[in-house]
Structure 1
Amino acid sequence: MKLKTKPNKSQTSSIDTEEIAKFNQLAKQWWDPEGPLKTLHDINPCRLAFIEQYMALAGSSVLDVGSGGGILAEAMSKKGALVSGLDADPDIIAIAHQHASSQSLAIHYTCLGIEDFSGESFQAITCMEMLEHVAKPEAIIQHCAQLLKPSGYLFLSTINRTLKAYLTAVIGAEYVLKLLPKQTHDYQRFIKPSELATMVRQADLELIDLKGMDYNPFTRAASLQESVSVNYLMVCYKP
């Protein structure tokens, strides 16, 4: 396993330092399935199942953008994928590296913004629960497209900008049920599926499928659904 840390030199970075600082405070609790990021643990099987509908992970090269502590990266690695993780926070990358080492998983983590990551291409790229936390999501999509191999897949997930999403993902999740720390989300940064689809097409990618993701906070189970009114996933293809 390799851990690389480099300074962010991009002058057009999509990185939001306030968002980085917010999640940095949670770094040591990333792998606590009952901690402040427990919903990430709960929805991970659903995210993984969505990915596996479109590709076989075993032997495939995958870049997880905004990999955080490595919850999705490790799940894909355990399925046989050749996983690289990319995150801009050195403390969170260190947690990811330590946890992967404890599981004997060969995941290559790099502490870098995607704008400054180059030299490799991948059969698939995942960017989950991350776009609503960056300053320029369209730039993230463009860079992901550049790093994809032809016939590769880009998997995205984010939150729709609807009243229901505000009531569910902000008021309900953060203030009523306390599933997430307060101010985890900024409603103004939520992204409508039509807006994300435009970003994808501007990056010369084809939108293959769009699914909603339902989360039951009482059973702590997530499942795919047709409604995209709150959380949703998108898969795109590079011709």
Structure 2
Amino acid sequence: MIKHRYAHEIDPNGGSAAAVLARMVEPGQRVLELGTGPGTVTRILHAKGCKVTGVEMDPETLATCAPFCERTVQANLEDPQWVAPLAGESFDAIICADVLEHLRDPRPLLNQLHGFLKPGGSVLMSLPNASHLTVVASLLGGRFPYQKNGLLDHTHLKFYGREDLDALLRECGLLWQHWHTVQVDPAQAELKAYWHLLDEETQAFLKAKCADGEVYQHVVRAQPATDAAHLQKLENDRTAMIKAHEAQVLELNAQSAAQKAAWLLEKEVTTVQNVALINGLMAQEKNTQATLAWTESQLQNHKQSIQELHAEIAALKQSTSWRITAPLRKLLRKISD
């Protein structure tokens, strides 16, 4: 098997753009895949029972996909005649997986796709995001470093952000119905070296200000912009808003429940603490009452002793000896004076 520069294994249930695109296709559908490459998406579609027509410019690459396709067409997508072998055919889905950015002008191709879609059919596409934070970081460093693959693959001729892609679709009579993003942390992307050159304050600023700064790829399902498609988009937007509202309500309820639980726990702890404090104060009061009772008892004893002493003194003053010694005490006072 030929080793293609874009060949890689993916998890059909994973979060890669190829896996997301493949999951947008229903089992058994007829699919036109433009730019099959090494067949990353083709193999998944084949496993789902889809009938795939693969279009690829490189004959050797196309040969690797042939076992997984119902039909293959070797053609250059920038040649307006690429459609000739497919005249009269129609498909449930047309896939452009990381293809449009390789074309000098993708508009002629997109304009040709309407005629190949069955009623209700969709154009599915993935494109790298030109506003990823690592691209911004490289530009801040005065660089636009093309790579062998990734965001700045040296074969990329066009670069799109979200609004640019939306405008391109509208110009070509297409209306997006579902927009998915593949997120990659700038510290993990292939241009991470330029991100790491920025100080933490600048990184935080860019993360706060750059729209789609961590979006690595856009994955979009679009349909011809008919009245039915506009109505479907309104319904999709309504459903998305309802889901977002429900998610917000669930989050608020969870926050409220957590706050209530924390309040009840704090209240319980406070109650336990207050009970302990009250018990302590009651014990202290009991000890104080006991001390007061002991002190009162001692005071009464002292009062009784004083009364007894006063009685003894009064009895002494009434005694004969006190009267006999009165002149002597008087003399002693004079001597002391």
**What secondary structure sits across from 1:189 in the alignment?**
coil
Alpha carbons 1:158, 1:232 under 8 Å: kept? yes
**What secondary structure sits across from 1:196 in the alignment?**
helix
TM-fit CA distance, 1:197: 1.5
Q: How does 1:172-191 map to 2 (within 5 A)?
A: 180=149, 184-185=153-154, 189-191=158-160
Structure 1 Cα separation of the partners of residues 151 and 220 of structure 2: 27
TM-fit CA distance, 1:151: 0.6
Structure 1 Cα separation of the partners of residues 138 and 94 of structure 2: 25
Aligned to 1:210: 179
Structure 2 Cα separation of the partners of residues 182 and 227 of structure 1: 14
Structure 2 Cα separation of the partners of residues 183 and 55 of structure 1: 28
- The question of 1:231 aligning with 2:230 is answered no
Structure 1 Cα separation of the partners of residues 37 and 93 of structure 2: 18
- The question of 1:127 aligning with 2:96 is answered yes
Q: Select which of 14, 23, 29 maps to 2:3.
A: 29
Structure 2 Cα separation of the partners of residues 191 and 96 of structure 1: 28
User: Which amino acid is the alignment partner of residue 33 of structure 2?
Assistant: D
Aligned to 2:28: 59
Q: Which structure is higher in helix share?
A: 2
Q: Which structure is higher in strand share?
A: 1
Structure 2 Cα separation of the partners of residues 89 and 111 of structure 1: 7
Evaluate the alpha carbon distance shift between residue 142 and residue 122 of structure 1 in structure 2; reply closer, same or farther with a 3 A threshold: same
**What secondary structure sits across from 1:190 in the alignment?**
coil
TM-fit CA distance, 1:64: 0.6
Instruction: Give RMSD over aligned pairs.
Output: 3.8
When structure 1 is superposed on structure 2, of 64-73 and 185-194 the one drifting more is: 185-194
Aligned to 1:113: 76
**What secondary structure sits across from 1:199 in the alignment?**
helix
Evaluate the alpha carbon distance shift between residue 79 and residue 159 of structure 1 in structure 2; reply closer, same or farther with a 3 A threshold: same
Could you tell me the TM-score, scaled by structure 1's length?
0.65
Aligned to 1:47: 17
Evaluate the alpha carbon distance shift between residue 144 and residue 168 of structure 1 in structure 2; reply closer, same or farther with a 3 A threshold: farther
Evaluate the alpha carbon distance shift between residue 156 and residue 168 of structure 1 in structure 2; reply closer, same or farther with a 3 A threshold: farther
User: Which amino acid is the alignment partner of residue 87 of structure 1?
Assistant: E
User: Which amino acid is the alignment partner of residue 230 of structure 1?
Assistant: Y
**What secondary structure sits across from 2:110 in the alignment?**
helix
Q: Structure 1 vs Structure 2: percent identity of aligned residues?
A: 19
Evaluate the alpha carbon distance shift between residue 204 and residue 188 of structure 1 in structure 2; reply closer, same or farther with a 3 A threshold: closer
Evaluate the alpha carbon distance shift between residue 52 and residue 144 of structure 1 in structure 2; reply closer, same or farther with a 3 A threshold: same
- The question of 1:153 aligning with 2:122 is answered yes
User: Which amino acid is the alignment partner of residue 201 of structure 1?
Assistant: R
Structure 2 Cα separation of the partners of residues 181 and 51 of structure 1: 18
Matched pairs, number: 192
| Residues 105-133 of structure 1, C-alpha deviations (whole Å, 9 max, x = no match) | 44311101343223111110110111111
Larger Rg: 1 or 2? 2
TM-fit CA distance, 1:196: 1.8
TM-fit CA distance, 1:73: 1.1
